[in-house]
Amino acid sequence: MLGKRVLNDLSAYQQGMQISEVKRNYNLDRIVKLSSNENPYGFSDKVKEDLKIDEQPFELYPDGYAYDLRTKVANKLTVGPDQLVFGSGSDEIITFICRAYLYEGTNTIMATPTFSQYKHHALIEGAEVREVPTVNGKHDLANMAKQIDEQTKVVWLCSPDNPTGEIIQQNALELFMEQCPNDVLVILDEAYYEYVPYSFQLNLHESLEKYPNLVVLRTFSKIYGLAGLRVGYGISSEVIAEKLNVVRGPFNTTSLAQRAVQSALDDDEFIANTKKLNLEVKNTFKAFLDELNWGYYESFTNFLLVKTPIDADKTTHYLLERGFIVRSGNALGYPNTVRITIGLEQDMKELQLVLRQLQKDVDEEVIK
């Protein structure tokens, strides 16, 4: 059966290895997964306390409009409820944007490398993809602005960026927005927003008011620790949110997930604690990398893109054999790097031992 022709050139998302798969393949009992930037501290206890499974009406369809969740998020962000669109992860919002705004004859602009899903879904919709190389792991906003023309419909900005963790600062964003025509949508993907130090966080309210073409993406998958429940959202003008809601499936987020993320929103302490612990463990790990003389990108997130002394796939394999799953930078567009999620303190200490041994093996030419 023939699908869209472009599908012949694309492949399904290559996820990182699963814990069970590594256990099976490498005959290991204990695995530390540091490949998908999940929260190693889990999620708020409030979610467990509030979710009384026996009382959930699973026989009923969920509220597709997600009224309760919408009201809660709107109040928290001080935006109107109809400025929001909810998706099965922010991944799904990316598909809504592409479906609603891109088609053959249009083009879309993004950094390269960056999060893979913008390009993937833009190509499926038949749009031309204009990729602008990053400079030292940062978006080259001046060159991205130069790529905009009459056919440009969407520009993608990822801040903090995946996989480097680098951010776009408010003044740079504003400069870019001033150069961008009002009818070009600018997507600011802030999946790791809550990890960013307060002084670098974007002023959402002000930005949305100033720039009616801005769409901000957030998620419950990262610091909230609820990746398995799949809830992300977009914040924009009501006009854009309405368009995105048109392409949204009628019941795209589950009642269970809607309920759970509301409880998670009530626990600011869990978020503050995770942020604090992540920073402490990240700083210790950075000091260790400095000692080893391994470079890394400045990251405002819960992961680090680390430069390796040998090929990234070899490093990834070396770590896998020893029970650590990390992401090879080869697949992410940054050869000779690995992306490592900042895990629990003890796990990171064990990782340091393995990395120290790796450096020794390289020095002694046991591996090349």
Ligand X SMILES: Cc1ncc(COP(=O)(O)O)c(C=O)c1O
Q: Which residues of the chain form contacts with ligand X (CB under 6 A)?
A: 37, 89-91, 115, 158, 162, 189, 191, 219, 221, 227, 232
Cα(280)–Cα(286) distance, integer angstroms: 10
Beta-carbon contacts of 307 under 8 Å, excluding residues fewer than 6 positions away, are 294, 295, 296, 336, 337
Q: Which is nearer to ligand X, 101 or 193 (CB)?
A: 193
Instruction: Quote the CA–CA distance of 366 and 357 in Å, as a whole number.
Output: 11
Nearer to ligand X by Cβ, of 227 and 289: the residue is 227
HEC per residue, 252-297: CCCHHHHHHHHHHHCCHHHHHHHHHHHHHHHHHHHHHHHHHCCCEC
Taking the C-alpha atoms of residue 159 and residue 177, their distance in angstroms, rounded to an integer, is: 15
CB of 94 to ligand X, least distance (A): 7
Smallest distance, ligand X to C-beta of residue 26, A: 24
Q: Of 137 and 322, which CB lies nearer to ligand X in the complex structure?
A: 137
Comparing CB distances to ligand X, the nearer of 94 and 358 is 94
Closest CB 188 distance from ligand X, rounded Å = 11
CB of 305 to ligand X, least distance (A): 12
Q: Are the C-beta atoms of residues 252 and 92 closer than 8 Å to each other?
A: yes
- Tell me the three state secondary structure of residue 184: coil
When the beta carbons of 162 and 308 are compared against ligand X, the nearer one is: 162
91 vs 347, which CB is nearer to ligand X? 91
Distance, C-alpha 139 to centroid of its chain? 16
Identity of the residue, 89 or 343, whose beta carbon is nearer to ligand X in the bound complex:
89
Alpha-carbon Rg for the chain, nearest whole angstrom, is: 21
Instruction: Calculate ∠ Cα 43-39-253, nearest 5°.
Output: 60
- Closest by CA to 94, choosing from 275, 181, 221, is 221
Which residues are bridge partners to 235 per DSSP? Answer: 84, 216
In this structure, what token pair is assigned to residue 200? 């670098």
Amino acid at site 240: I
Q: Which residue sits closest to ligand X, CB atoms considered?
A: 89
- Shortest Å, Cβ 250 to ligand X: 20
Q: Is 156 helix (H, G, I), strand (E, B) or coil?
A: strand
Given the DSSP bridges, would you call strands 152-158 and 107-112 parallel, antiparallel or unpaired?
parallel
Nearer to ligand X (CB atom), residue 115 or residue 294: 115
Q: Least separation, in Å, of the C-beta of 117 and ligand X? A: 7
Taking the complex as a whole, how short is the minimal distance between the CB of residue 56 and ligand X, in angstroms? 22
Shortest distance, position 248 Cβ to ligand X, whole Å: 14
